[in-house]
Amino acid sequence: MGVPLLAIGVEPLALDTLIAAVTDRGDATGSDGAVATFLGLVRNHNVGRVVQHLEYEAYEPLALRAFERIDQEIQARWPDVRLALHHRIGRIEIGGASVAIATASPHRGHAFSACRYAIERIKQIAPIWKREFFDGGDVWIEGATADPDDAAALAEAERIACV
């Protein structure tokens, strides 16, 4: 069996493996018309700080459940989309990829929307944290309170994804 659709781990990410995972559906119907992808990178600056590298940690079993939940939310909104989502943890250098997403669909609009929705929901609910090491110190980055049932957060993700 090939690449898992949903994964979290320390291995470097490779978009081509996610693209293969969402397009090889086993039934060879040739029905896909589009694949949208997203790669999140570690950048060298943040709120005026010069970033040296990031360290990610996660509550891995719950992170996988969060990914499954995001997948189910996408199936409910775009039933023709297939999602692959891999998040990397551990130390990641500047320019390295921390998250990779691929969405396949017969229609480009669905692929784009589902891909955007996935990254917004990851940031809202996945139990993953980044520690930023910058020139002069380090800090845990704290974003959203992770509540998968928060209706306002769901509505915001839908708005951004143009549902």
Residues forming contacts to other proteins in the complex (CB under 8 A) are 40, 56-59, 61-63, 65, 87, 98-99, 119, 122-131, 140-149
Minimum CB separation of residue 61 from other proteins in Å reads: 4
Residues in the chain: 163
CA distance 112 to 126: 21
Q: Which is nearer to other proteins, 112 or 129 (CB)?
A: 129
Minimum CB separation of residue 140 from other proteins in Å reads: 4
Rounded to the nearest 10°, the torsion over CA 142, 62, 94, 99 is -120
Tell me 48's DSSP state: T
Provide the sign of the torsion angle of the four alpha carbons 114, 103, 14, 38, taken in this order.
negative
Q: Which is nearer to other proteins, 25 or 139 (CB)?
A: 139
Minimum CB separation of residue 24 from other proteins in Å reads: 26
CA distance 98 to 42: 7
Minimum CB separation of residue 143 from other proteins in Å reads: 4
